[in-house]
Amino acid sequence: MSKAQKSKPAVRTESSGVERLGLRVSAMINSPRSQDRCSVLIHRMDTDQDAEWDEVMGQIAETDGVSMIFQDDGGVLLEWEAPSEEDRVLETGEIDALEEAPF
């Protein structure tokens, strides 16, 4: 093999603690059960550092329409209102069912 044909090994980048925590919280919020209930209880894990936890909770606190209830065990209950019909995102099939524009 020539040098041009050799592939370089993939560089693996380590995600930060904030990114990992954000992904975990996002997955919990976006779960079907949480979306149906419009609430989720976020548990703090032993591996969650104070600074990471505070940053992610601060980002959530800045989000309009989300209430945060801090639990005695360190978890946080997030609650939000279900989207109204006006706020609802249309699925692709629903767009076809809408009336055609009059122009």
Higher-confidence residue of 17 and 27: namely 27
Under a CB-based contact definition with an 8 Å cutoff, are residues 68 and 61 in contact? yes
**Is residue 3's pLDDT more than 60?**
no
Reported as a pLDDT band with limits 50, 70 and 90, residue 52 is: very high
Under a CB-based contact definition with an 8 Å cutoff, are residues 11 and 17 in contact? no
Which of 47, 34, 36, 46 is closest to 78 using CA atoms? 34
N residues, the chain: 103
Reported as a pLDDT band with limits 50, 70 and 90, residue 42 is: very high
Three-point CA angle 37, 42, 43, nearest 5°: 140
Under a CB-based contact definition with an 8 Å cutoff, are residues 44 and 75 in contact? yes
Report the pLDDT value the prediction gives residue 23, as an integer from 0 to 100. 95
Tell me the pTM: 0.67
**Is residue 97's pLDDT more than 60?**
no
CA distance linking residue 66 with residue 81, whole number of Å: 8
Domains by residue range for the chain, with CATH: 17-80 (3.90.1070)
Report the pLDDT value the prediction gives residue 82, as an integer from 0 to 100. 87
Q: How many CA atoms lie within 13 A of 80 on its CB side?
A: 18
In eight-state DSSP terms, residue 102 is -
Reported as a pLDDT band with limits 50, 70 and 90, residue 9 is: low
